[in-house]
Structure 1
Amino acid sequence: MKTNYHTHTTRCMHAVGSDEEYVLSAIKGGFQILGFSDHTPWKYHTSYVADMRMLPEELPEYIESLQYLREKYREQIDIKIGLECEYFPEYIPWLKEQIKKYQLNYILFGNHHFHTDEKFPYFGHHTNNRDMLDLYEESAVEGMESGLYNCLAHPDLFMRSYPKFDHHCATISRHICRTAARLNIPLEYNIGYVAYNEEHGLNTYPCPNFWHIAANEGCTAIIGMDAHNNNDLEVPIYYERALQELKELKIKTTDTLKMIY
């Protein structure tokens, strides 16, 4: 099947397109399953307000909108409702309450910050030294071992800002991949940044070095569009290229995630 479980909405403040436009684009793009996983809100204990995720009071409307679209287009596409969440230990009890309350289908593990974005910077911009790499690994491993997540999104995110894939990158990659393989958690082969990479002459993620390690460690890969624009779902070239790249890696692949509800 052609599936995507990594879809954002305008509520995260850095995406474009209405919820329904994403659904229509996914149908046009030939997807059988479309999973929405916008950045989760957090009920912070401080006055901090994040600038890249919905507010807690927006969550009910997010769920309601997607439930409506799931019913409206049920004959054309299977819509799953989830969230892309960090591993913030202090706030996990609140998150578990929301998962149960709204019967969320799945949770993507988007490892962007160490423990909380209230005081720790974004890994994708600030993982430029070994200490930050170590924190990325620690957060990724702890999060996967929590049993909360159905998939680790963009596991090679650290290559957005780390200058070169070196021995230390290889070491933390092996630790992350071995944990994912042991816990049977798929790793997302994220193609949401490929067009930007090509336009700017970059090579961040998917990082070939990381994925060779993932293949050797017996990991399972799943393609994720990381769609921030509904039109992303209508462009087949990157998805088809990802299929070929994964085939050449001889890595195990899946097109479905295990659902919570």
Structure 2
Amino acid sequence: MTKFDLHTHHERCGHAKGEIRDYIESAIKHGLQVIGISDHSPYFGSGVDRPHPGITMAKSEFPNYVKEVLKLKEEYKGKIEVLLGVESDFFPEHIETYRKEYEKYPFDYIIGSVHQSGGVSIFNKKRWNGLPPKEQTRHKEEYYRLISESAQSGAFQILGHIDAMKGYYPAFSDIQTAAVEQTIKILGEHHMAIEVNTSGKTKDVGGWYPSDLMLEMCLHYGVHITFGSDAHVPERVGDDWNEVSVKLKEIGFKEWVYFRNKEMQSVPL
């Protein structure tokens, strides 16, 4: 069985540790055949080179990032397949700018992630302080509206951590709205893949993204599944891969996928 991890970061983003090579070596150590490098995209919509140093790399650093991954891809040929990816922010107002930047490079895949909703980080737990139920629902529905739009944009092969808003606010999962299922239906219609992202275990919620219930909906609506540890330290590469594989089989999935040259590669479960 091909063991893979498509979601890894490194020191360029400003909040991960280690170099790209460290993540590749960790992947080999953990028995992976495929490792995807997918650091945070720069803020291409900003006029500043690096407006948020602790969150993403500088625009001027992006070509060096691509160059390094491609160099390591060649170097490790025969030992492990290294894929060129990026975790892209999704800002609807800047999508064309981002798309033009990505067209310059030979990406194997692009992960589209909503990190901000309503102008506030999805990981900002203060956003929930004192919000009445109706407002909580509005916040959740805005988040899923953005995720739906990211799928409809056609800019991404994979959508990242589609319920990560629960990371530091576990009660997020209990906010009832039809928007979740409507969004997953849209993902299926657009032949999207979503990741099972095991980094939720490092947050207050203490579990993976997305929930089992959402994975069941994904199976129902024909959404493809991939794996991402979202490792920000090399040791977490491939974290919980076997456990996720077992869970997906229990839910009823027969395969999961990764991407090479933006073409979907199926791996039986």
Q: Which TM-score applies when normalising by structure 1? A: 0.87
Aligned with 2:185 (options 165, 175, 178): 178
> Any idea what SS the aligned residue of 1:205 has?
coil
Matches of 2:11 and 2:3 in 1, distance apart?
A: 24
The verdict on how the C-alpha distance between 1:46 and 1:98 changes in structure 2, with shifts beyond 3 A counting, is closer
Q: 1:234 Cα shift? A: 6.3
Q: Map residues 22-171 of structure 1 onto 2, 5 A cutoff.
A: 22-46=23-47, 49-50=51-52, 51-114=54-117, 120-126=119-125, 128=128, 129-160=136-167, 161=169, 163-166=171-174, 168-169=176-177, 171=178
Q: 1:86 Cα shift? A: 1.9
The verdict on how the C-alpha distance between 1:125 and 1:18 changes in structure 2, with shifts beyond 3 A counting, is same
> Any idea what SS the aligned residue of 1:228 has?
coil
Q: Runs ≥4 in structure 1, deviation > 6 angstroms?
A: none
Q: Is the 8 A contact 1:191 1:206 kept in 2?
A: no
Matches of 2:61 and 2:212 in 1, distance apart?
A: 38
Q: Is the 8 A contact 1:218 1:251 kept in 2?
A: no
Aligned with 1:241 (options 232, 240, 243): 243
Q: Counterpart amino acid of 1:123?
A: I
Unaligned runs of 5+ residues in structure 1 are none
Q: Which TM-score applies when normalising by structure 2? A: 0.85
Structure 1 vs Structure 2: percent identity of aligned residues?
24
Higher strand share: 2
The verdict on how the C-alpha distance between 1:222 and 1:260 changes in structure 2, with shifts beyond 3 A counting, is closer
Q: 1:258 Cα shift? A: 5.8
Q: 1:53 Cα shift? A: 0.6
Spell out, residue by residue over 1:175-211, the C-alpha distance to the aligned partner (whole angstroms, 9 max, x if none): 12101111110111111222x25xx674463422322
Q: Map residues 2-17 of structure 1 onto 2, 5 A cutoff.
A: 2-17=3-18
Matches of 2:238 and 2:193 in 1, distance apart?
A: 24
> Any idea what SS the aligned residue of 2:86 has?
strand
The verdict on how the C-alpha distance between 1:43 and 1:215 changes in structure 2, with shifts beyond 3 A counting, is closer
Q: Is the 8 A contact 1:14 1:52 kept in 2?
A: yes
Q: Is the 8 A contact 1:17 1:229 kept in 2?
A: yes
Q: 1:164 Cα shift? A: 4.7
- Of the structure 1 ranges 28-37 and 200-209, higher mean CA displacement relative to structure 2 is found in 200-209
Matches of 1:217 and 1:11 in 2, distance apart?
A: 37
Over the aligned positions, Cα root-mean-square deviation in angstroms equals 2.3
How many matched pairs? Answer: 251
Q: Counterpart amino acid of 2:165?
A: F
Matches of 2:122 and 2:254 in 1, distance apart?
A: 27
- Which residue number corresponds to residue 224 of structure 2? 220
Matches of 1:60 and 1:201 in 2, distance apart?
A: 35
Q: 1:252 Cα shift? A: 4.8
